[in-house]
């Protein structure tokens, strides 16, 4: 009896792509250096307030589709937090 081979096709049909969702990770540590500091604040300030500034999902910490005072308050709660 010969060895059976299996072929797995992960993307066999176009409808498989519909199962994927866009994932945006939002963190006050915007530059992902494991500490929330002035660098992150300067990046956040560049997108504050939206609208009228262009929407950037990295700064929408509350997740309501706008970047405003609530996002700033959440950012401030984590200022100087880090991982060690
Ligand atoms: Ca950072």
Domains of the chain with bracketed CATH: 32-84 (1.10.1330)
Q: Tell me how far apart the alpha carbons of residues 70 and 84 are, in angstroms, rounded to a whole number.
A: 27
Dump pLDDT digits (tens) for 17-76: 566 777 778 999 999 999 999 999 999 999 999 999 999 999 999 999 999 999 999 999
**Omega prior to 28 cis, within 30 of 0:** no
Residue whose structure tokens are 């049909």? 13
Which of 12 and 36 is assigned the larger pLDDT? 36
Tokens representing residue 15 in the block: 């409808």
27 CA to centre of ligand 1 in angstroms? 9
Phi and psi torsions of 63, nearest 5°: 85, 30
Query: What is the C-alpha R_g of the chain?
Result: 20
Q: What confidence score (pLDDT) does residue 5 get?
A: 63
65 CA to centre of ligand 1 in angstroms? 22
Query: Does residue 34 come out as left (phi exceeding 0), alpha (psi in the -120 to 50 range) or beta?
Result: left
Tokens representing residue 64 in the block: 């309501």
Predicted model pTM? 0.70
20 CA to centre of ligand 1 in angstroms? 28
81 CA to centre of ligand 1 in angstroms? 9
41 CA to centre of ligand 1 in angstroms? 9
24 CA to centre of ligand 1 in angstroms? 17
């Amino acid at each position: 009896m010969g060895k059976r081979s299996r072929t797995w096709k992960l993307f066999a049909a176009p409808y498989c792509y519909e199962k994927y969702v866009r994932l945006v990770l939002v963190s006050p540590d915007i530059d992902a250096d494991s500490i929330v500091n002035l660098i992150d604040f300067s990046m956040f300030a560049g997108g504050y307030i939206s609208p009228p500034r262009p929407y950037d999902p990295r700064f929408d910490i509350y997740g309501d589709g706008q970047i405003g005072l609530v996002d700033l308050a959440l950012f401030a709660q984590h200022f100087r937090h880090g991982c060690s």
